[in-house]
Amino acid sequence: MQELEARFGELVGEVAEPPRVARYAVNEAMIRNWVEAHDDLNPVYVDPEAARATGRDDVICPPAMVTTWVMQGYRRWRQVQALRAEGVQESHAYSRLLALLDEHGFSSVVATAQEQEYVRELTPGTRVTCHFTIEDISPVKRTGLGDGCFITLRKRYVDQADRLLVDERFVILRFDPTTKDAPKEPAA
Amino acid sequence: MSTPTVVRPVVGETLPELALPLDRTTIVATAIASQDFEDVHHDPGKANERGTPDIFMSINSTNGFLDRYVTDLFGPATRIRKVALRLGVPNFPGDTMTFSGEVAEVTDVAVTLKVVGRNVRGAHVTATVTIDHPSGGIQ
């Protein structure tokens, strides 16, 4: 485990992966899917007149939806799962980190915290790019879900003019579910 | 359209509760609306293998429901500036998550809210949300 933790040092502070450029611009159809799923009746997300009545130029994207624009889509999600199952590492730091954790059995994931500062509201036509950095990796800890480590990703979302839209810290736990309620490993 | 129920927030003011019954479709639909295909949000068998008894709500969905809670209360002009949330117990199909909260801080330009979303097992989410002051502040 110490050998694993020693390798975290090489990864902290690194760019996690190449910038993610949204596959399509912020758009009303995706916004509508989101607000319907959340049963959110705020009219500023779907009605340009209502949005203008609140001083905006157009409908806005719900703040929490910012992550959606840079998700990679179903096909790429399948591809990433297949590569991980085959033990194939892509060249970027985040892929190397996941491969390292997979090797040690930390293959499951839950998100644990998120902080987002919304600098600008997103409107249709905005093309989002997200820059990911590995900000922190905790030592391996015992958690209620099993042994694992917390990874803090810094995510900076910018528009096509490179203006900051949202600054985010995202914390996930990568853990080994087979160690849930396991006896504590003796200190080496 | 929602009606703002809080116009001039004062520190310590309790926010009205919002109870959200969450079925399986809610959890899946919100995950897919955010393009999140992690299997723990839609596949009970895979969720089981990964150590949870059922699928559970994604963090982005939780964040989306927080947006809804806050703008339902403060109205469509609300501008959310910052959200800091921490997850506790999962939201599973069949749970009802009830949001409650209070006004923690008020300045001329901003209002900070403490919000908790609970289900029967405890706090699913504990959040601090900062919005522009609904009066438009001093700017």
Whole-model pTM? 0.92
Q: Which residues of A touch B49 (CB under 8 A)?
A: 177
> Distance, in angstroms, between A3 CA and closest chain B CA?
25
Q: Sign of dihedral through CA atoms B31, B32, B38, B39?
A: positive
A69, A129, B39 from A23: Cα distances, Å: 7, 9, 22
Confidence of residue A188 (pLDDT cuts 50, 70, 90): very low
Q: Which pLDDT score is estimated for A87? A: 82
ipTM over 0.85: yes
Nearest Cβ partner for B76 among A37, A54, A68 = A54
> CB of A167 within 8 A of CB of A133?
no
> CB of A139 within 8 A of CB of A149?
yes
Are B84 and A77 an interchain contact pair (Cβ–Cβ within 8 Å)? Answer: no
- CA-nearest residue to A23 within chain B is B35
**What proportion of chain B, given as a percentage, has pLDDT over 70?**
92
> Distance, in angstroms, between A178 CA and closest chain B CA?
8
Q: What is the rounded CA–CA span in Å between residue B96 and residue B98?
A: 6
- A33-75 confidence digits (pLDDT tens): 999 999 999 999 999 999 999 999 999 999 999 999 999 999 9
Q: Are strands A108-118 and B122-132 parallel, antiparallel or unpaired?
A: unpaired
Q: Which pLDDT score is estimated for A187? A: 46
Q: Which pLDDT score is estimated for A182? A: 58
Q: Which residues of A touch B40 (CB under 8 A)?
A: 108-110
Mutate to test the interface with A, among B24, B32, B37, B115 (most CBs of A within 10 A): B37
Confidence of residue A85 (pLDDT cuts 50, 70, 90): confident
Are B64 and A108 an interchain contact pair (Cβ–Cβ within 8 Å)? Answer: no
Average pLDDT of chain A is 93
Q: Which residues of B touch A109 (CB under 8 A)?
A: 38, 40
Average pLDDT over residues B46-66: 95
